[in-house]
Structure 1
């Protein structure tokens, strides 16, 4: 992990979280990581992130994303993607534009903010 960039650390974390390998993903977060999606209340720690992802997986399953932009400056990583999901209630593929902002402590994420319109999870 020491020789990778902060962007590479974030991408590795995304892959691990996407495959639900929480044990390995833990190495990429500080113990008190804050995770906030849109206007929802923040959650803390890897357990809080996992709980949110399990809640989200009741509505839509992540299928990957298309990278639009990545940027790293002064311990901040910004990644803009089109996230692809399968909405479970009707098995319809949906795409959500999303910008994630990561505040880093070395190669660990200490704050993760997600800016996305999640309304497609629930409606047309």
Structure 2
């Protein structure tokens, strides 16, 4: 499951472009086809960096089954590859975000480690 979680999507690339230092906080707006929208998610790069989450656990570019993205390369928005609807061998953007973020948080909890939220309102907070 770890491989699936770690390599499912480049969902945190909400800042598009080449960066040496990511923004402290990114506002992630998840487009959803045909359903109500929840408030955007405030994602803290600093919190994840402090917990030693490597960039490649979220950011990726797959060639075959191998992640060839490396820190310092351009970061694309998730929507560059993940659309509003799932495609062959590619999750839609909503499920890509949820599988990556919530999946990692659940895995950490199962290991008895401190983890981020897993309930909707834990991430989707009104401004």
TM-score range, shorter chain: under 0.3
TM-score for both structures, normalised by structure 1: 0.25
If asked which structure has higher relative contact order (CA below 8 Å, sep 6+), I would say 2
TM-score for both structures, normalised by structure 2: 0.25
User: Which has the larger share of strand?
Assistant: 1
